[in-house]
């Protein structure tokens, strides 16, 4: 019986050795990876842009050379990324006229300029009529 008890003791120590040699280093590696990954992900992330702010009003003045227009006392700048729509179709800054209703969104740039993201010229387009659901 003594032989039998020794073999069971040896079998019970083998999993402990495996645990010490394999599992413990894996846990340490996982812990180190969990600590360093958020730091590297933060380095790769681009700075978040400011949320677009809505604009609405009548155009008071336009400067086609500087690509700016005024609503009240605020001066808005048209950039290369600005999307301009008129009558639900793409338009250009040349289509904007003094006294027209405009609406859209802008972001304040690093240089404190109010850069227009999107601009709708003219009245709000009528929504498409909803189709009635078919009777069941």
Residues 105 and 67 in one domain: yes
pLDDT by residue, tens only, the chain of 136 residues = 455 555 555 556 666 777 677 888 888 888 888 887 776 555 555 556 678 899 999 999 999 999 999 999 999 999 999 999 998 899 999 999 999 999 999 999 888 899 999 999 988 777 777 766 554 5
Strands 89-90 and 114-121: unpaired
User: Cβ distance 16 to 24 under 8 Å?
Assistant: no
pLDDT at residue 97, rounded to an integer: 92
Residues 59 and 110 in one domain: yes
Residues 77 and 36 in one domain: no
Long-range contacts of 70-74 (CB under 8 A, 24+ apart): 71/102, 74/114
Q: Is the pTM of this model over 0.95?
A: no
Evaluate whether residue 131 is within a structural domain. Answer: no
Which domain range does residue 88 map to?
53-121
Distance of CA 126 to the CA centre of its chain: 29
């Amino acid at each position: 019986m003594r032989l039998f008890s020794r073999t069971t003791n040896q079998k019970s120590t083998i999993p402990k050795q495996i645990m010490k040699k394999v599992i413990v280093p894996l846990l340490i590696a996982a812990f180190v990876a969990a600590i360093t990954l958020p730091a590297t992900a933060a380095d790769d992330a681009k700075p978040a842009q400011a949320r677009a702010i809505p604009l609405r009003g009548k155009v008071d003045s336009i400067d086609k050379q500087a690509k700016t227009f005024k609503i009240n006392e605020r001066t808005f700048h048209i950039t290369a990324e600005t999307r301009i729509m008129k009558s639900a179709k793409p338009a250009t800054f040349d289509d904007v006229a003094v006294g027209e209703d405009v609406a859209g969104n802008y972001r304040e740039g690093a240089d404190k300029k109010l850069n227009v993201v999107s601009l709708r010229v003219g009245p709000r387009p009528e929504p498409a009529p909803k189709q009635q659901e078919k009777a069941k």
